[in-house]
Structure 1
């Protein structure tokens, strides 16, 4: 049985309008590669009920989704996370920094990102420190996880301009 993704309650701006075409295109590749896509609900490493490409909103055990539903959910979730990052980081960002910060916020949540040293350092103009702080977010339940270590290393490459977007 498939379950439709909830209809929108307000018009969306679109990812390109939020972060620009280059960062949007990169995020549509980076986030699915990092998250993976599962067409049923499952518990992630932290025990959070999850579905599709790392979605957690309104997750219900036992539901199944189509690839089209998962893509629509990804688009919605990327927009929400990008809006959150752009609202709390007021400093100008490169496309690579947008990719790094939105991917990280997608993984840890907008509230955690906006309350982090990454956002504080970026807003203080310490972009090198903000990029370095990405590496602090590699633990689940207090223990480092190789997948998160690798994900944050990639994010740092984007953030520091060592990987082209």
Structure 2
């Protein structure tokens, strides 16, 4: 069972970390990297989103919490070593941003699974591009994820 239970410390940290970097936009907007589809809304949701979609803050928060649980389940399936809460939250945030498949196939998860935790956490910093372009916001996000990842080393 995932440690991302509603009301848990990890769940609260994940909402704060991901929500803080994704930002809240209640009206659908085009992907900032491609300037077009996929359309994005709330805290970075893209599934089923169309131009003109609008949501309340409560709907957006509920979407974020549900999505985080989905990403946590993906991380649970590919990470084979125990994770302290902050490292777990860092990997969920990473997966939320690049997808579960991308996260699970990344050097980050590979190194952590191989017992090279510090190197895995450091490799988060390599994932700061979208459409081949370095984004300052992604760089800041990866630095914060790395800090969370390394918190218990």
Q: TM-score when scaled to structure 1?
A: 0.84
Q: Deviations over 1:91-149 (max 9, x none)?
A: 11111111111011111111110111111111111111110110010011112110001
Deviations 1:5-51 (A, max 9, x none): xxxxxxxx78317xx92211111111110100111111122233111
Say if 2:103 is the partner of 1:113: yes
Larger CA deviation: 77-86 vs 22-31: 22-31
1:38-57 maps to which residues of 2 (within 5 A)? Answer: 38-47=25-34, 48-57=38-47
- Whether 1:129 aligns to 2:149 is no
Match of 1:40, SS state, is: strand
Please say if 1:21 is aligned against 2:11: no
Q: Distance in 2 between matches of 1:45 and 1:94?
A: 32
Greater alpha carbon shift after TM alignment, 124-133 vs 40-49: 40-49
Find the aligned partners of 1:28 and 1:142 in 2 and give their Cα distance.
27
In structure 1, what is the equivalent of residue 23 of structure 2? Answer: 36
Aligned partners of 1:14 and 1:79 also within 8 Å:
no
- Corresponding residue number in structure 2 for 1:70: 60
Ranges in structure 1 where 5+ consecutive residues have no aligned partner: 1-12
| Contact 1:138–1:149 (Cα < 8 Å) also in 2 | yes
Aligned residue pairs total 148
Structure 2 residue runs of 5 or longer lacking an equivalent are none
Given that 2:3 and 2:10 are in contact with CA atoms closer than 8 Å, whether structure 1 keeps it comes out as no
Q: Provide the alpha-carbon RMSD of the alignment.
A: 1.7
Does the C-alpha gap of structure 1 residues 146 and 112 become closer, same or farther in structure 2, counting only changes over 3 Å?
Answer: same
Matched with 2:85 is 95
Candidates 75, 80, 101, aligned match of 2:70: 80
